[in-house]
Amino acid sequence: MSILDIRQRTGYLFLAVTVGHVILISTQVPSQRGVPLFEEIVFGGFAEVQRVASSAIGGVSGSFNDYVALQDVRADNERLKAELAQLQIRFQQEEAAAAQTKALQDLLNLRQSTALATVAANVIAGGASPDFRTITIDIGSRSGLANDMAVVAPAGVVGRVIRAGSLASKVQLLIDRNAAAGVVDQRSRAQGIVVGMGTSTLQLTYVAGTADVREGDALVTSGIDGIYPKGFMVGQVESVQRGAGEYSLVRVRPAVDFSSLENVLVITTPPERGGDDVEPLDAQGRE
């Protein structure tokens, strides 16, 4: 063992003895509060360690609580979103039910306001071809339907039955190219025939050159066609063109929105005819 090692050990021993003496003395020397100085130093040290540890634990606990609370908020948000979506769906369903109820009420009012015998029907399909404007309704000959019976809606004339099956029927819409109806101008009492154009408009034909027809005039059925009873709304004059003293083109906007038909009435009472029987008109207004 070298002299250096002996000196280091002697120094360590001296330091240990010195610290021991200091500790021994501090246990005997009281502090200002009467507590042994050693005990106060040890207590203060441990208290500081506890304070730091408590702060760290408190921070971790607070962060954890904040995380848990955030997860709860997210869960509440998802629940509220789901409830809102359900309420929106329910509102749409109730709105649709209200619209359907109003449509049925309007149909009932129409049925009650006419003295003609009618049968209510639901539209179950539309025509597949744009060249033939038709709809299919859910009643047929078992409900008393027959070909050429008039079909109406609260807004006005829809068309006529062209094929009455046993449980369903096909209806030719008034806007079909092969459809026609006799009409009269409510204001001037001028008469003519409206024919379908295959589009969303009608054309007024066979109007006398001296007749008074103006834009905005309302046209109703005249009953001369042998299909549609008198007095049902057909449409409103949209534009008038004259040439050489005659009406060259009179466009009519239909009273019925054919794109939104859901419920209709089929008139089973034959229309009144003055004098001899009148054969139904075709699209060119011929008997």
Q: What is the DSSP string of 132-148?
A: S-EEEES--GGGT--TT
- Do 247 and 241 meet the contact criterion of CB atoms below 8 Å apart? yes
Q: What is the pLDDT of residue 277?
A: 42
Measured in whole angstroms, the distance separating CA 229 from the mean position of its chain's CA atoms is 37
| 84 membership: H or E segment, kind and range | helix 37-113
Lookup result for tokens 């209200």: 98
Given 2.40.10.340, 2.60.40.1120, 2.60.120.10, 3.40.50.1980, which CATH number is that of 118-267? 2.40.10.340
CA 158: distance to chain centroid? 25
98 contacts: CB under 8 Å, gap ≥ 6: none
User: Mind listing the pLDDT tens digit of every residue in the chain (287 residues)?
Assistant: 565 566 566 666 666 656 555 555 555 555 555 555 555 565 566 566 666 666 666 665 666 666 667 777 777 787 777 777 777 666 666 666 666 676 667 667 767 777 888 999 999 998 767 778 999 999 999 999 999 999 999 999 999 999 999 999 999 999 999 999 999 999 999 999 999 998 889 999 999 888 999 999 999 999 999 999 999 999 999 999 987 778 889 999 999 999 889 999 999 987 765 434 444 454 444 44
In this prediction, residue 272 carries a pLDDT of 67
pLDDT at 275: 38
Angle between helices 37-113 and 3-28 (to 10 degrees): 80
Question: What DSSP letter does each residue of 21-49 carry, written as one string?
Answer: HHHHHHHHSB-TTSSBHHHHHHHHHHHHH
Do 215 and 240 meet the contact criterion of CB atoms below 8 Å apart?
yes
Report the DSSP beta bridge partners of residue 47: none
Contact criterion met (CB below 8 Å) for 220 and 259: no
